[in-house]
Structure 1
Amino acid sequence: MIHQYKNNGYNIILDVNSGAVHVVDDIVYDVIEEYNKNEDADGRFTGTDKDSLAEKFASKYSRDDVYEVCDEIEELTEQGRLFTRDIYEPYIDSFKDRPTVVKALCLHIAHDCNLACKYCFAEEGEYHGRRAMMSYEVGRKALDFLVANSGSRRNLEVDFFGGEPTMNFDVVKQLVEYGRSIEKEHNKNFRFTLTTNGVLLNDEIMEFANKEMANVVLSIDGRKEINDLMRPTRNNHGSSYDIIMPKFKKFAESRNQTNYYVRGTFTHNNIDFSKDVLHLADEGFEQISVEPVVAKPEDDYAIREEDLPKIFEEYDALAAELVKRKKAGNGFNFFHFMIDLDGGPCVAKRLSGCGSGCEYLAVTPWGDFYPCHQFVGNEEFIMGNVDEGITRTDIRDEFKACNVYSKDKCKKCFAKFFCSGGCAANSYNFHGNINDAYDIGCEMQRKRVECAIMIKAALADK
């Protein structure tokens, strides 16, 4: 399976199954396009007639040049770098039967928030239910569950999430202390992370986070007018941008511009979102993520299909600017353009992504398990609780079987091994099952993958 495209002046060929990327000139690009028409149902090259190709391109390229390109293509094919067979699909049965090992928990430490973000899927932290704070007892049981169900895996991830977790920060500190106290006994290492809107950030919280949190996510949408439009304070008590920006700058610097990212959301109101990314970069942030909102079609801020051409232009322009700045020595990382073409994720990650519902679970303040934070509040997806463990193994098994080959939309998609089938929650919310895909999201993901590969090519181009 081959995907070829042009981006910012580069002709790029991606061999989907091997992951090999080729940056080529016009003649190779054109000839491979003809070769690509001769794949069988399994994506394998079935051969072509060189004389016919030479005649087809006679007005553009010499016969000898076309022959030479054909020989190069066939050599790369023999080397397993073009038109390679899918080695993953035969693995899928054993993949679905793999032992269940829980690797990560999202602790909803606070179902409450001090902002009133308009696009919040958590309904200002309430998650379609009631306001609540997780107790130390519930959190301790959740950590015990994680240790007991993590098998031989040593590194375990725990994200303190909300709502706004700093509204319950004493419990956060207690749980970190408890986690550290049991690491050695069980041969585990907790990697704690924190997601915060920054309103309550102070020196004490920053100092603790810098000591104990492997990563922090700082929520801000970009330019002041954009941020304050979608992320207002409760009862309009001032500009949230003005409250958090100085704190976030200080926090990022205190972490030496690593092991954090500022994370924003763009909507129909700012499809010129590259300006928000560059605003954050110009403010000194080096780790940036600004992601498309996922919203119901009737929401006035939802991204629409007609927005996509402009969004694609924004991604292309942002990619070109990122290359320019990196070459000038003042670059930044944009989360959705970070891609590993050398090793990349393990096979399990390539096939199933985040592992929601089996390897990764969300825990409510009262101790219920859900497949992930985006399912919290939909009681059909309660999987168990911290006292009884997983009682709905049918839900776990359904998520465990979810992969790029269980989704018809993924099978022929060139980006499937980079997005791993996309978000199960988005699939469910738009189509009523987890084995579909959020179509607008897929379109944007494909564009981001194309841009990410172009950036690699451009930075390798001396």
Structure 2
Amino acid sequence: MIHQYKSNGFNIVMDVNSGSVHIVDDVVYDVLPYLEKKESKEEILKALANSYAPAEIEEALEECHELEEAGALFTEDIYENAIDAFKNRPTVVKALCLHIAHDCNLACRYCFAEEGEYHGRRALMSYEVGKKALDFLIANSGSRRNLEVDFFGGEPLMNWQVVKDLVAYGREQEKIHNKNFRFTLTTNGVLLNDEVMEFCNREMANVVLSIDGRKEVHDYMRPFRKGKGSYDLILPKFEKFAESRHQDKYYVRGTFTRHNLDFASDVLHLADLGFKQISVEPVVAQPEEEYALREEDIPAICEEYDRLAKEMIKRHKEGRGFNFFHFMIDLTGGPCVYKRLSGCGSGTEYLAVTPWGDFYPCHQFVGEEQFLMGNVEEGIKTPQIQAEFKNCNVYAKEKCKNCFAKFYCSGGCAANSWNFHKSINDAYDIGCELQRKRIECAIMIKAALAAEEKEN
């Protein structure tokens, strides 16, 4: 299975099963569809006779056959036959999303968490509940040494003392159990101050800073409850925080909606402010929401990704490069086989914990009572839910089987699939279209930078 496309002057060919990527000339590019249909040399020569000389076609065919023999073109899928072993692997929990605060000091219009309430009530996690959650993680992590805990909300800084206390408890337990905690934090910045920054720089492996881009965009979608915008308050804090972390191990993370389909301008605005680690992601919302993305928006969004990719190449050449999360792709190592097949591990390796200690498959399922999995007191009480998520992989989804992006997106987000189709084994269609485009752009950027390096 191959995927070929043209982008920014490059003819790009992906061999899906091996992960090989080739930049080819026009002759090879035009020969490949015939080879994929297993047409004979004579048929190919006849079909392309008006476009290329026979010698050119024969040379292209020889190059393709060499790549095929080297295992870099038209390779077989080696993963599908191993899927049973994959599904039967032991379940080990390695990460928790602690909902340290079901409350928020902003009223973001697109918030899936309903200003922190998650279809429920406002609440702050107690130290005792958080402590039991960490104990559960340690007890269910098996031999895995590296564990991850994300402090999430609502707004985690509204429960800052408990965050600090749980980090201290985790550090104590590391020594006792030979574990290593990687703590992360997501914040809207309203309560960010020097003390929080100092603590995070000492203890947090990564920090996500929520900002949507340009002032008018951010203030419209992320206001306080009385309507005032939050941009002017948080921006200086975020700039200071990013510099204090040496422009590393953080993200400024935004959301674009139907109100700013020119979102590349928001990404570039953040880059112009000096941020080097940027993520601006599409909103996921039901179509009746006025800010929701719709199918008719897809062409404009794809054009915007192209615009952003070309500008990123230009800035890299000028020494002004930055990272854009959705264009970051590893073509050499990449994720392990389990990650390629099943994605984030929600419901199995990764769980969300509510302020009162209930377990859900991930933060986006919180409040959906049919996905309540257990609690910190009793552990997992519904193993059938865990089994359902364990069997969720790219081969369980009809939409994924013949998609070139399946080993990059790993089947997409289970929560998005549930929200749009009431099945975790389906896929959010708009999200799929945009993911495919982002992968194409990411690979094109790699091609352009490799070409530049070769020239130099």
Q: Aligned partners of 1:186, 1:112: CA distance in 2, in Å? A: 33
For residue 174 of structure 2, what is the aligned residue in structure 1? Answer: 183
Tell me by how many angstroms 1:49 deviates.
1.6
Mapped contact 1:55–1:63 kept (Cα < 8 A): no
The aligned amino acid for 2:24 is V
Is contact 2:220-2:229 (8 Å) kept? Answer: no
1:344 aligns with 2:329: no
Question: Are 1:201 and 2:188 counterparts?
Answer: no
Match of 2:14 in 1: 14
Whichever residue aligns with residue 111 of structure 1, its letter is H
Q: Indicate the residue corresponding to 2:152 in structure 1.
A: 161
Letter in 2 for 1:161: F
Code of the residue aligned with 2:261 in structure 1: it is: I
In the other structure, the counterpart of 1:63 is 54
Kindly provide the amino acid, as one letter, of the partner of residue 49 in structure 2.
A
For the 8 Å contact 1:117–1:230, the answer to whether it is kept is yes
1:45-64 to structure 2, matched below 5 A, reads 47-64=38-55
Picking from 435, 439, 459, the partner of 2:425 is 435
Provide Cα deviations, 1:183-225, integer angstroms capped at 9, x if missing partner: 0111100000000000000000000000000000000000000
Question: Which residue is equivalent to 2:5?
Answer: 5
SS in 2 for 1:461: helix
- Opposite residue 141 of structure 1, the aligned amino acid is K
Deviations 1:23-68 (CA, angstroms, capped at 9, x unpaired): 01111100112222x1xxxxxxxx4321221222222211011011
Among 368, 392, 398, which residue is 1:402 paired with? 392
Gap regions ≥5 residues in structure 1: 39-46
Moved more, 53-62 or 386-395: 53-62
Residue equivalent to 2:405: 415
C-alpha separation in 2, matches of 1:282 and 1:218: 17
1:304 is matched with 294
Report if the CA contact (8 A) 2:92-2:140 is conserved: yes
3-state SS of 1:235 partner: coil
State the identity as a percent. Answer: 74
Residue number among 191, 205, 215 corresponding to 1:224 in the alignment: 215
Aligned-residue offset at 1:11: 0.5
Deviations 1:330-371 (A, max 9, x none): 100000000000010000000000000010000000000000
Alignment match of 2:231 (pick from 241, 246, 267):
241
Which of 375, 379, 393 is matched with 1:389 structurally? Answer: 379
- Matched with 2:359 is 369
2:369 matches 1:379: yes
The separation in 1 between residues aligned to 2:116 and 2:34, in whole angstroms, is: 53
How large is the RMSD of aligned CA atoms in angstroms? 0.6
Q: Matched residue of 2:424: which SS? A: coil
Whole-angstrom CA distance in 2 between matches of 1:196 and 1:16: 37
TM-score w.r.t. structure 1 length? 0.97
Look up the equivalent residue of 1:95 and give its one-letter code: F
Which aligned segments of 4 or more residues in structure 1 are displaced greater than 4 angstroms? Answer: none
> 1:76, 1:82 within 8 Å by CA — same for their partners in 2?
yes
- Corresponding residue SS for 2:274: coil
1:329 and 2:319 aligned: yes
Aligned to 1:23: 23
Q: CA deviation at 1:239?
A: 2.4
- Secondary structure of the 2:314 match is helix
Distance 2:318 2:17 in 1: 34
1:359-399 CA-to-partner distances (Å, cap 9, x unmatched) read 00000000000000000011111100000000000000000
The CA deviation at 1:136 is: 0.1
Using the alignment, how far apart are the partners of 1:27 and 1:241 within structure 2? 52
Following the alignment from structure 2 to structure 1, what is the Cα–Cα distance between the partners of residues 175 and 395? 39
Distance in structure 2 (CA, Å) of the matches to 1:287 and 1:250: 14
* Unaligned runs of at least 5 residues, structure 2: none
